[in-house]
Amino acid sequence: MRAVLLRGPEQIELADIEEPELVEGSVIVAIDRCGIGGSDVEAFLDGKLPAGAWFGHEWVGQVVEVGAGLPDRFVGEVVVGAVPPPCGQCRPCRAGYGSHCRLVLEMIVGADPLASKHGAFAEAIRVDARRVQRLPEGIDVNDAALSEPAAVAVHAVERSGVGLGDVVVVIGAGTIGLLVAELSRLAGAAQVGAVDPEPARRELVCDLGSDAAFAPGEGIGRWLSQTGHGLGADVVFDCSGSDEALGSAVREVRRGGTVVAVGVSSRKSPSPSAKLIEREVTLRASLGYTIADVQRALALMADDRLRVSRIYQSETVGLGEVGSVIERLAASGRAELKSLVQP
Ligand SMILES: [Zn+2]
């Protein structure tokens, strides 16, 4: 079968490889769609992966084979790639901190010992059966490929404590930022403002329900002074991953407010700021997501409350185009929307 493999820094190969073989506790999934995300572009530039099945991890597909010990009824189910429930065995789990389960945190970055060495830019993938989440009725297959970033956004908004009537600022209107803006509104925010250097992304975040969007350093401060209580944002999400953005997040949040740094990988190291203390700001970090976040994201997508279809390009690309799309994304920054791969 065909699979797109990362061979080194800026080296992508469309290869003919062996079909994945079943092992106990695993399922084989025929991939219908796989989103190209920012972390795929990072991996392309570095030539390194945090773990095996990472390059292409935003996938949806159909279970075609199940390993020993798993019921045959799983065959034919449409599933998305997720994380397992807490294992109950590791030290954090035994101490009662299932939300920090080591197995879950490892599987978020694709460290799945049962998984194929390649990711889901492929016709099929083998994964640990505990990592698949059945798709509810009523979600388009393209939309379903956004379930992983949607779960990351659900996790961040849950962590933030955004509530009724809040003023929210979202820095970075990439895929995660767009979803965080939508979900903040669903969580009860009265006003949502966004910051992004790309005009097209500023327009899109407003189309999806935000009230205003600004280029970095242009106007968000004035907007906040004229919005709600005028004291600044109750909650600021940094979805950009840059230290400068974290600095501006601390300036835009009101005294006593909350800043949430959103991420999946642990690559970024936000520099701590004395401003945090001076302004008595709560800084929350949000890492990845849990199986419960996936279920919430899918439920919101199934009844059309969380709209994801504007966040990806409607034309899918084939496996042969993955390399050129990622090269283009690496060269041009993030002007274009997410592409979905249809093997
Ligand atoms: Zn555990």
- Domain presence at residue 177: yes
Q: Of the ranges 25-34, 67-76, 181-190, 316-325, which one carries the lowest mean pLDDT score?
A: 67-76
| Cα 291 to averaged position of ligand 1 atoms, centre (Å) | 13
* Mean pLDDT taken over the chain: 91
Count of Cβ atoms closer than 10 Å to residue 176 Cβ: 26
Lowest mean pLDDT among 85-94, 179-188, 239-248, 313-322: 239-248
DSSP state of 122: B
If residue 142 lies in a helix (H) or strand (E), which one and from where to where? helix 141-144
What is the domain range of residue 272? 150-287
Q: How far is the CA of 30 from the centre of ligand 1 (A)?
A: 28
Task: Tell how far the Cα of 295 is from the centroid of ligand 1, in angstroms.
Answer: 19
Which tokens belong to 270?
């936000």
CATH code, domain carrying 175: 3.40.50.720
Summarize pLDDT for 96-117 with one digit per residue, the tens: 998 889 999 888 877 888 998 8
- Between the CA of 245 and the centroid of ligand 1 the distance, in Å, is 33
Cα of 48 from ligand 1 centre, angstroms? 26
Same-domain check for residues 67 and 194? no
**Same-domain check for residues 180 and 254:** yes
State in Å: Cα 246 to ligand 1 middle: 31
pTM of the shown model: 0.91
CA of 104 to the centre of ligand 1 (A): 7
The DSSP element (H or E) to which 62 belongs, if any, is strand 58-66
**CA nearest 27: which of 82, 67, 84, 62?**
67
DSSP character string of 264-298: SSS---PPP-HHHHHTTPEEEEEES--HHHHHHHH
Total number of domains in the chain:
2
Q: Does residue 331 share a domain with residue 235?
A: no
Calpha distance 113→91 (Å, rounded): 19
* Centroid of ligand 1 to alpha carbon of 93 (angstroms): 4
CA of 44 to the centre of ligand 1 (A): 31
Are residues 321 and 195 part of one domain? no
292 CA → ligand 1 middle, Å: 15
